[in-house]
Amino acid sequence: MISIVLQQGINGIVIGSLYVLVALGLTLIYGVLVQINFAHADIVTLGAFAAYATTHFFGESYVVGIAAALIAGAALGWLVNATIFSPLRERGSELLPLIATIGVSIMLQNAMLALLGPIPYAFDTPYSNHVLRLGGLFLTVQNMLIIVVSSASIILLYGFMRFTFLGKALRAVAQDRETAGLLGINSNQLIMLTFVIASALAGMSGALLGPVLVLTPFAGTSVIVKAFAIVIIGGFGNIEGTIIAGLLVGFIESFTTQFLDPGLIDIVVFALLLLTLAVRPTGLIADKREENV
Partner 1 sequence: MSETSHGADRRRLSGHSIVRSRHFRYLLAAAVIGLLPLVFTTSYWRTNLILCAINVMLAIGLDFVLGYAGQLNLGQSAFYGIGAYASTLLVTKLGIPFWAAFALGTVMAGAAGALLSLFAVRLRGHYLAIASLGFAVITYQILLNWISLTQGPLGIYAIPPPPPIALPWLPRIPFTNLANFFYLTASLALIVYFLLDQMLRSPIGETLAAIREDEISAASLGINAPKWKAFAFAASSAVAGAAGCFYAPFVGTLVPDAFFVTESFAILAMVIVGGMGTLIGPAFGAIFITLLPEVLRSIGDLRLILYGASVTLVVLFMPGGIMQAWRLVRQRLFFFAEESAT
Partner 2 sequence: MTASATSHIDIAAPLLQVQGLSKSYGGVRAVRDISLAISSGTVFAVIGPNGAGKSTLLNLLSGLHQPDDGTIRFAGVELVGMPPHLRARHGLARTFQKIRLFKQLSVLENVLVGYHTRHAIPPWQYLLHGAAFQQERRRCREQAIDLLEFVGLSHRASIAAGALSYGEQRLLEIARALATAPRLLMVDEPAAGLNTTEVAALLLRITNLRARGITVVMVEHNMNLVMTVADRILVMDYGQFLFEGTPSEVQCHPKVISAYLGADVP
111 binds partner 1 (CB under 8 A): yes
The verdict on 214 binding partner 1 (CB under 8 A) reads: no
Q: In the bound complex, what is the minimum distance in angstroms from residue 240's beta carbon to partner 1?
A: 19
* CB of 203 closer than 8 Å to CB of 80: no
286 binds partner 1 (CB under 8 A): no
Distance CA 228, CA 107 (A): 20
Are 68 and 185 in contact by the 8 Å Cβ rule? The answer is no
Q: If contact means CB under 5 to 8 A according to the sort of partner, which of partner 1, partner 2, none does residue 178 touch? A: none
* # of chain residues touching partner 1 (CB under 8 A): 47
* Cβ 27 vs Cβ 237: under 8 Å: yes
Instruction: Report if residue 290 touches partner 2, rule: CB under 8 A.
Output: yes
Q: Given the rule CB under 8 A, which of 9-17, 60-68, 91-99, 189-197 is the region that contacts partner 1? A: 91-99
Is residue 182 near partner 2 by the rule CB under 8 A?
no
**Count of residues in the chain:** 293
Residue 224 to residue 205: CA distance in whole angstroms: 12
285 binds, among partner 1, partner 2, none (CB under 5 to 8 A by kind): none
Window 70 to 89, contacts with partner 1 (CB under 8 A): 83-84, 87-88
Quote the least distance from Cβ 178 to partner 2, whole Å.
11
Sites for partner 2 among residues 122-151 (CB under 8 A):
none
Determine how many CB atoms are found less than 10 A away from the CB of residue 262. Answer: 10
Spatial separation of the C-alpha atoms in residues 203 and 48, rounded to whole Å: 7
DSSP 24-90: HHHHHHHHHHS---TTHHHHHHHHHHHHHIIIIIS---HHHHHHHHHHHHHHHHHHHIIIIIHHHHT
- Least separation in angstroms between residue 94's CB and partner 1 is 5
Phi first, then psi: give them for residue 287, nearest 5 degrees. Answer: -130, 85
Q: Does 94 engage in binding with partner 2 (CB under 8 A)?
A: no
Interface residue with partner 1 among 108, 157, 191, 219 (CB under 8 A) is 108
Decide: is 232 part of the binding site for partner 1 (CB under 8 A): yes
- What separation in angstroms does the CA of 69 have from each of 65, 87, 174, 204? 6, 26, 27, 5
User: Which of partner 1, partner 2, none is residue 148 near (CB under 5 to 8 Å by kind)?
Assistant: none
From the list 74, 104, 213, 215, which residue makes contact with partner 1 (rule: CB under 8 A)? 104
Which residues form the interface with partner 2 (CB under 8 A)?
290-291, 293
